[in-house]
Amino acid sequence: MKNVIDFIGVYQPDMVIQIGDLVDYPTPSRWSAGTRTEFEAGVIRDSEYTQKNFLEPLRAVYDGGVGILEGNHDERPRKYLESRAPALAAEDKFYRFENLLEFGKYGIAKLPPYYPFAPGWVAIHGHESPGLNQVAGRTAAMKAKKAGVSVVMGHTHRLAISPETTGFNGKLKTIYGFEVGHLMDVRKAGYLKNGPANWQKGFGLFYVGKYAATPQAIPVEDDGSFVVEGERFGEIKRSNGRFAKKVNE
């Protein structure tokens, strides 16, 4: 994640979209109900951690447009209040992730699901409608087919672009489903309980034109490095990655 933030600082894209599940919020999750974790008081702690480790470093290197989608983990405090204390939830503003994370202070927009960020493309987190496929890219392709528009999403933690093409007589139309992977430290995903996972680290890049946009999936390697336009960023094991050079200066 640090390398991706550094990359954003170097590359200066026109816009940055965080695809959702920025914060885990394990304390008010349904998995914690009735366990010790439910009583831990971690919502403000986790919000401050996220500001310090994501929003502040991002804003230190990038002052362009930043939009964040609400994922199923981000919405846990809000949903918890809705189900446990609806009389308070109706008027509550505090336990919404955009306020817990102080989006206003950082000049960040909360994006609505199906946010149209480029011609022919919308962004969702991916939990808004049911349906998951274990093959990378297929969940997004399924949602794209239903929506009739190319869809980029997170949620599955898998990284792939999956096209769906229709047409005849040489007139073909392609829409894409794009799952952008994850940027988690998998060792810290306690809920995996050291079991197997079929996740890929990565992120997405879009080259946006007037009438269409070209998607690219960028896999992030085990050492945290990745290649964009032929250049390797953030390599730490060997010393010729772009950020590693900076450290040696």
Is residue 27 within 8 Å of residue 43, measured between CB atoms? yes
Euclidean distance between CA atoms 231 and 228, whole angstroms: 5
74 near Fe ion, rule: CB under 5 A: no
* Residues 163-192 within binding reach of Fe ion (CB under 5 A): none
Identity of the residue, 179 or 235, whose beta carbon is nearer to Fe ion in the bound complex = 179
Identity of the residue, 31 or 207, whose beta carbon is nearer to Fe ion in the bound complex: 31
- In sequence order, the 6+-apart residues with CB closer than 8 A to the CB of 139 are 126, 131, 132, 133, 153, 155, 156, 158, 177, 179
From the CB of 57, what's the least distance to Fe ion, in Å?
A: 22
247: number of Cβ within 10 Å: 9
**Shortest distance (Å) from residue 21 CB to Fe ion:** 4
**Which of 132/236 has CB closer to Fe ion?**
132
| Binding flag, residue 24, Fe ion (CB under 5 A) | no
Among 37, 72, 99, 133, binds Fe ion (CB under 5 A): 72
Binding segment for Fe ion (CB under 5 A), chosen from 66-74, 94-102, 161-169, 204-212, is 66-74
Sort strands 150-153 and 159-168 into parallel, antiparallel or unpaired. Answer: unpaired
3-class DSSP state of 10: helix
Min separation Cβ 126 and Fe ion, Å:
6
Rank residues 78 and 155 by Cβ distance to Fe ion and give the closer one. Answer: 155
For residue 232, report the phi and psi dihedrals to the nearest 5 degrees: -90, 130
Residue 155 found at the interface with Fe ion (CB under 5 A): yes
Q: How far is the CB of 75 from Fe ion (least distance, A)?
A: 10
**Taking CB under 5 A as the rule, does residue 21 contact Fe ion?**
yes
> How many residues in the shown chain lie near Fe ion by CB under 5 A?
5
Which residue type is seen at 212?
A: A
- If one asks whether residue 71 binds Fe ion (CB under 5 A), the answer comes out as yes
Site for Fe ion in 90-149 (CB under 5 A): 127
Cα–Cα distance between 129 and 74 in angstroms, integer? 16
Judged by beta carbon, residue 103 or residue 157, the one nearer Fe ion is 157
For Fe ion, the closer of residues 155 and 158 by Cβ is 155
- Please, which residue, 122 or 244, has the CB nearer to Fe ion? 122
CB of 241 to Fe ion, least distance (A): 30
Q: Which residues bind Fe ion (CB under 5 A)?
A: 21, 71-72, 127, 155
